[in-house]
Amino acid sequence: MPVIGMLIISNPDLFKTSFLEGMRVLGYVDGRSMRLEYRDAQGKTELLPKLAQELVSMKVDVLVAAQTPAATAAKQATSAIPVAIMAGDPVGTGLVTSLARPGGNVTGMSSTTAELSGKLLELLRELKPSIRRVAVLANRQDPFTKPFLKQIEDAGAATGIGISQVSVAGVAEFGAAFAAFVEMKADAVVVQPSLPRKPAVELAMKHRLPMASPTSAFVDDGGLLSYSAKLSDVYRALAGYVDKILKGAKPADLPIQQPTTFEFAVNRKTAQALGLTISKSILARADRVVE
């Protein structure tokens, strides 16, 4: 029975559910035709190397890692065990040599998160035209943070929106970060997906800051809007990589795929709580409206 290790920094629900759905479609059932070993750092990036090493010491057949910090920890923990990842800018962060020919023991999906930043700012301004400054809650321990912030800065320059950012190492620093956002008179906040969702949403609502993120799960937890790759499809696609690897394929020969489906989601209840009106135009374009 093959053993599959799963490693994530936080926000596990969608990852675990969608990946297992993809495995079931391919004929794998946990406990019967495969065994799953799951490790969640619960937002504490510093725990990822230890958790990755635990999975490696168990000699899992494949290591699956979601989001760049987990993917980096997995790559650093082993050069022998195949690793299937979902991560932003895997070439720029040094996870693979190229998308077409990854090389080494890592392959998987690119999330294209950074490239969607401009759309997020456009949607925030459309929903709240008075927006002049957007704050970014960034993950100081995520290798993907640099390209993530660069894309948002470029999008801000293109749209005339001022960008301020505070980098945090975990939930313990969220309170001070949001206090800083208020001090800098931010009109909205964008949250990096590798940070825990619920504490960020709670503080955004407390300070009455519209919150957006390039992952739709934030909207389910009370964020205002998201524009992202359809992550359920991305995680199901990872199951396909695992299946190929278990059947003998080498990660170095499996090109990194980029998402082909994207999702715009908006939370109507959150908008009402913030005193915002969602136009008919936005509702018509939304792929999903959370009531």
Helix (H) or strand (E) holding 14: helix 13-25
Residue type, 47: L
Closest CA to 199 of 180, 178, 166, 174: 174
Task: Compute the distance between CA of residue 34 and CA of residue 1 in angstroms, rounded to an integer.
Answer: 5
Per domain, the residue ranges of the chain are 3-112+229-261, 114-228+263-290
- Cα–Cα distance measured from residue 94 to residue 103, given in angstroms and rounded to the nearest whole number: 11
Give start and end residues of each alpha helix (H) in 163-257.
174-183, 197-206, 217-220, 231-246
| CATH code of domain 114-228+263-290 | 3.40.50.2300
The b-or-e profile of 94-113 (16+ CB within 10 A means b, else e) is ebbeeeeebeebbbbbbbbb
pLDDT at position 12, please? 77
Q: What is the pLDDT of residues 230-254, one digit of tens each?
A: 989 999 999 999 999 999 999 999 9
Residue 138 has pLDDT above 80, yes or no: yes
Q: What is the pLDDT of residue 14?
A: 82
User: pLDDT for 259-279, tens place per residue?
Assistant: 999 999 999 999 999 999 999
* pLDDT (tens digit per residue) in 171-183: 999 999 999 999 9
pLDDT digits (tens, 9 = 90+) for 203-224: 999 999 999 999 888 999 999 9
Phi, psi of 21 (to 5 degrees): -60, -45
Q: Which amino acid is at 60?
A: V
Assigned CATH class of 3-112+229-261: alpha beta
* Range name among 5-19, 158-172, 221-235 with the lowest pLDDT average: 5-19
C-alpha separations of 42 from 10, 51, 111, 161 in Å: 5, 11, 21, 33
Nearest 5°: CA angle at 40, between 10 and 201? 20
pLDDT band at residue 119, thresholds of 50, 70 and 90? confident
Would you say how long the chain is, in residues?
291
Nearest-5° angle of CA 155, CA 143, CA 182?
55
Spatial separation of the C-alpha atoms in residues 254 and 85, rounded to whole Å: 12
pTM (two decimals): 0.87
Backbone Cα Rg of the chain: 19
Q: Which of 7-16, 84-93, 229-238 has the lowest average pLDDT?
A: 7-16
Is residue 13 scored above 90 in pLDDT?
no
Whether 3-112+229-261 and 114-228+263-290 share one fold: the answer is: yes
Q: What is the DSSP letter of 36?
A: E
Interhelix angle for 174-183 vs 197-206, to 10°?
A: 30
pLDDT for 282: 94
